[in-house]
């Protein structure tokens, strides 16, 4: 008993460090590390989906170490193990030279460049320690438009804008200037191909934005927001405030945890402030074609959201709503970028559901699910009889918390890689639950306990699944197909 208490106490303080040192830190190396970890996890997930069962099982060992390294704040080690898992998923044995290439990242110094600038500075930097020298490698940089589709939906080949520019490895390490004078305002990615003789490896893309009069326009948004603040709806006021923080950070070259579409978001802010009465329509229209970041607020409390709506949105036909709750150390971006490379979001949209991912801290959500729905009601037509919850790890615990607060709100619930004890256990047991864990998942005991408690309380639609050779992170991707099959049966009970 004492050992278990010490184990969970240690984990608790590690999570405090993760949230205090990463989630709430808007500057510095921590955000670079978060962004790189997310991209490397996404790359693994895309490969894992194409791998054989044997390769998927072999991925579990390095993934377990990656998860352990993350929770002990050895983030560079976590990245190295994610890359090892990726090589295994590809059924490849890399040379030392290939490992060195993949151990690098693309650094763009001007994340938000003025349109008057004719070049952007780019270089390759080591992300974690590697041993091999790469004097003979050749590096090719190209620029593409930033994608607006989910990672899982993106084409293998992205349309290139302009010419590919080649450099030696030494030049790329020292830093080069890419000519962007012909590019209009917009959000872009720098893509990088490294050639090693007859082999080539693509590095993870790096996002950046090009904006005319960027500083002046961001400052004008700030002034307009301050002038109108008292008369704006709470969700517009809070959203603009959070967007300004991000835009100003990008102006100073401070990386964010995702490649943020700064030009698009600045234009959204300008439009919302120019016509607040049309802001809900703007958000509703935009969410049908790309992700939307919103912050909902009630008094001093607020919650950052990332959401997307199915297309088309019929304002006369309310949509079902899928809430997604991330795990520790994550944010509202995780379900859109990872967890099967956006697989849960894609599955929800395919079913015509509004998909809403929330940001939460160790103390939970500042606003509960019902309050978030109330805040979104002026923007989206929502069917409150068809609300679904899905959470991973700490998010699975949040699912249990939300069900305890509002046991009649969700129509069905999915808890993956963790659990909790709903406050209104007997009422919670009357809801259909799909609960999943990996056989190597440290959240398995919590998931099992949740399932058992719900069944003891009288639950008749409690499904527990355990996936062999799966650890705490890949479990979401592994469980998604069966989880959505379960939700489909709840949503359409009369269909075979």
> For residue 28, what pLDDT is reported?
55
Count of structural domains within the chain: 3
CATH code of the domain containing 151: 2.60.40.3760
Distance CA 59, CA 56 (A): 5
Q: Which of 302, 301, 214, 293 is nearest to 257 (CA)?
A: 293
Q: What is the mean pLDDT of residues 466-476?
A: 97
Residue 18 in this model has a pLDDT that exceeds 50 = no
Domain edge (last residue) among 173, 191, 211 = 211
> Does residue 131 share a domain with residue 186?
yes
Q: What angle do CA 124, 23, 187 make, to 5 degrees?
A: 50
Strands 199-211 and 301-308: unpaired
The pair phi, psi for residue 29, each rounded to 5°, is -65, -30
> Does residue 316 share a domain with residue 450?
yes
> Does residue 273 share a domain with residue 132?
no
Domain contains 14: no
> Does residue 316 share a domain with residue 272?
yes
> Does residue 334 share a domain with residue 306?
yes
> Does residue 244 share a domain with residue 143?
no
> Does residue 60 share a domain with residue 166?
no
Return the residue matching tokens 């290439």: 101
Which residues form the domain of 430?
Answer: 214-491
> Does residue 194 share a domain with residue 63?
no
Domain contains 3: no
Domain edge (last residue) among 211, 233, 262 = 211
Domain contains 4: no
> Does residue 362 share a domain with residue 337?
yes
> For residue 17, what pLDDT is reported?
40
Residue 347 in this model has a pLDDT that exceeds 80 = yes
Domain contains 13: no
Instruction: Write the pLDDT tens digit of every residue in 265-292.
Output: 999 999 999 999 999 999 999 999 999 9
Instruction: Write the pLDDT tens digit of every residue in 147-177.
Output: 999 999 987 667 788 789 999 999 999 999 9
Domain contains 351: yes
Measure the N-to-C terminal CA separation of the chain; round to a whole number of Å: 47
CB 146 within 8 A of CB 189: yes
Structure token pair of residue 16: 């405090």
Domain contains 329: yes
Instruction: Write the pLDDT tens digit of every residue in 238-272.
Output: 999 999 999 999 999 898 999 999 999 999 999 99
Domain contains 7: no
Q: Which of 485, 483, 404 is nearest to 450 (CA)?
A: 404
> Does residue 234 share a domain with residue 382?
yes
CB 188 within 8 A of CB 161: yes
User: pLDDT-derived band of residue 496, with 50, 70 and 90 as boundaries?
Assistant: low
> Does residue 141 share a domain with residue 73?
no
> For residue 488, what pLDDT is reported?
97
pTM over 0.85: yes
Long-range contacts of 224-232 (CB under 8 A, 24+ apart): 224/273, 225/269, 225/273, 228/273, 228/276, 231/276, 232/276
> Does residue 388 share a domain with residue 257?
yes
CATH code of the domain containing 392: 3.40.50.1820
Residue 21 in this model has a pLDDT that exceeds 80 = no
């Amino acid at each position: 008993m004492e050992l278990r208490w010490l184990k969970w106490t240690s984990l608790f303080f590690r999570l405090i460090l993760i949230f205090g040192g990463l989630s709430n830190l808007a500057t510095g190396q921590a955000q670079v590390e978060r962004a790189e970890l997310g991209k490397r996890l996404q790359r693994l997930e895309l490969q894992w989906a194409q791998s054989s069962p044997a390769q998927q099982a072999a991925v579990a060992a390095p993934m377990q170490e990656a998860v352990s390294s993350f929770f002990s704040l050895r983030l560079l080690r976590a990245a190295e193990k994610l890359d090892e898992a990726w090589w295994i998923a590809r059924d490849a044995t890399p040379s030392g030279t290939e490992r060195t290439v993949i151990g690098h990242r693309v650094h763009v110094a001007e994340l938000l460049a003025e349109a008057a600038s004719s070049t952007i500075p780019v270089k390759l930097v080591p992300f974690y320690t590697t041993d091999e020298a790469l004097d003979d490698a050749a590096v090719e940089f190209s620029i593409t438009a930033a994608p607006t589709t989910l990672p899982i939906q993106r084409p293998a080949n992205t349309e290139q804008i302009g010419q590919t520019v080649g450099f030696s490895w030494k030049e790329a390490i020292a830093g080069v200037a890419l000519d962007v004078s012909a590019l209009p305002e917009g959000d872009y990615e720098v893509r990088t191909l490294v050639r090693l003789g007859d082999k080539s490896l693509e590095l993870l893309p790096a996002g950046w934005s090009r904006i005319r009069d960027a500083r002046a326009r961001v400052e004008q948004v700030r002034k307009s927001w301050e002038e109108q603040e008292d008369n704006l709806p709470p969700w517009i006021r809070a959203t603009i405030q959070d967007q300004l923080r991000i835009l100003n950070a990008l102006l100073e070259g401070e990386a964010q945890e995702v490649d943020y579409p700064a030009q698009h978001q600045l234009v959204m802010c300008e439009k919302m402030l120019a016509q607040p009465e049309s802001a809900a329509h703007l958000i509703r229209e935009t969410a049908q074609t790309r992700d939307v970041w919103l912050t909902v607020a009630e008094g001093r409390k607020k919650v950052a959201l990332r959401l997307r709506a199915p297309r088309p949105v019929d304002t006369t036909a309310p949509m079902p709503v899928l809430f997604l709750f991330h795990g520790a150390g994550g944010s509202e971006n995780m379900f859109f970028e990872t967890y099967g490379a956006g697989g849960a979001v894609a599955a929800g949209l395919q079913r015509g559901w509004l998909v809403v991912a929330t940001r939460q801290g160790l103390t939970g959500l500042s606003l509960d699910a019902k309050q978030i729905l109330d805040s979104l009601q002026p923007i989206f037509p929502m069917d409150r009889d068809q609300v679904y919850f899905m959470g991973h790890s700490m998010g699975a615990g949040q699912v249990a918390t939300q069900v305890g607060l509002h046991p009649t709100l969700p129509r069905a619930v999915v808890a993956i890689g963790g659990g909790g004890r709903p406050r209104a256990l007997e009422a919670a047991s009357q809801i259909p639950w799909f609960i999943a864990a990996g056989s190597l998942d440290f959240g398995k005991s919590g998931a099992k306990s949740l399932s058992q408690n719900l069944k003891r309380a009288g639950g008749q639609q409690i499904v527990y699944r355990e996936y062999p050779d799966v650890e705490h992170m890949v479990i979401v991707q592994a469980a998604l197909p069966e989880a959505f099959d379960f939700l489909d049966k709840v949503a359409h009970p009369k269909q075979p």
